[in-house]
A = this chain, B = another copy of it.
């Protein structure tokens, strides 16, 4: 059987979850990752695999077997490659792990809504919403593992689900001047967040890469949409992000041009 293929968008946090999981399992090459250029019409072959939907990632296992939804794909990888189990094995601990994982969607959404906001009047409200999630996470971790770093004694499934999101939220640091307040109320979640970001299995992306590629989100534009005067997405493959300058931070005043972003 040929390798499973995951089709994803560049620096997709959902497929980074799978990359981290494979890294932890020592199976880095077991899955092929193919990047989809979301600035172009979708390849008919991929549309056929997904049966018409356009959300990514999707995972092609061959023989007509296709999975969607990042957490479904993640569990598939965990369960199909049993060499080294990363999820907890105790039933109660698996439940606690699931409770934490279940909140990741709303946490992610709060950060994305914050970076995509273009209304100065709503900055405070977005900030409070995200801090509410951090407060919940702090409380959850303090309850289940007050003195530890991760949810359990080692970096595991719930931790790796959040790690790519903590890294994407570098765009909040850069464009919104927002970081977790240095405050005892957030000390537990901060210890966790920092250790997740520093984990050796999670070094697939960098601060600079996130900030440059996600410029369009800071400009309020998602998934390949373009603003006035723009002809290329900040997610474009070419020119490579390394060759581009750091984007301007003044997202509440204007949308930068292709030239200014180094996209032409």
Q: Which 10 A-B pairs have the closest CB atoms?
A: A80-B91, A79-B91, A67-B95, A76-B95, A72-B98, A72-B95, A65-B92, A76-B91, A72-B99, A61-B92
> For residue A75, which residues in chain B have a CB less than 8 angstroms away from its CB?
94-95, 98
Q: How far apart are the CA atoms of A150 and B73 in the complex, in Å?
A: 23
A71 CB to closest chain B CB (Å) equals: 8
- Cβ of A128 within 8 Å of any chain B Cβ, yes or no, is no
| Complex-state Cα separation, A92 to B78, whole angstroms | 11
- Binary contact track A5-17/B, C-beta < 8 Å → 1, others 0: 0000000000000
Task: State how many residues of chain A have any CB contact under 8 Å with chain B.
Answer: 22
B79 x A67 contact (CB < 8 A): no
Closest to A98 in B: B72
Chain B residue nearest in CB terms to A61? B92
In angstroms, how far is the closest chain B Cβ from the Cβ of A68? 7
Copies in the complex: 2
Interface residues of chain A, those whose CB is within 8 Å of chain B, are 51, 61, 65, 67-69, 71-73, 75-76, 79-80, 91-92, 94-96, 98-99, 102, 143
How far is the CB of A18 from the nearest CB of chain B, in Å? 13
Q: A51-B143, A143-B51 are in contact. Are A73 and B61 (CB under 8 A)?
A: no
Residue pair A94, B68 in contact (C-beta under 8 Å): no
A76 nearest CB neighbor, chain B only: B95
With A73-B95, A80-B91 known, 14 other A-B pairs at CB within 8 A are A51-B143, A61-B92, A67-B92, A67-B96, A67-B99, A69-B99, A69-B102, A72-B99, A75-B98, A76-B91, A76-B95, A79-B91, A79-B94, A80-B92
CA of A102 to CA of B69, assembled, Å: 9
A–B Cβ pairs within 8 angstroms, 19 of them: A51-B143, A61-B92, A65-B92, A67-B95, A67-B99, A71-B98, A72-B95, A72-B98, A72-B99, A72-B102, A73-B95, A75-B94, A75-B95, A75-B98, A76-B91, A76-B94, A76-B95, A79-B94, A80-B91
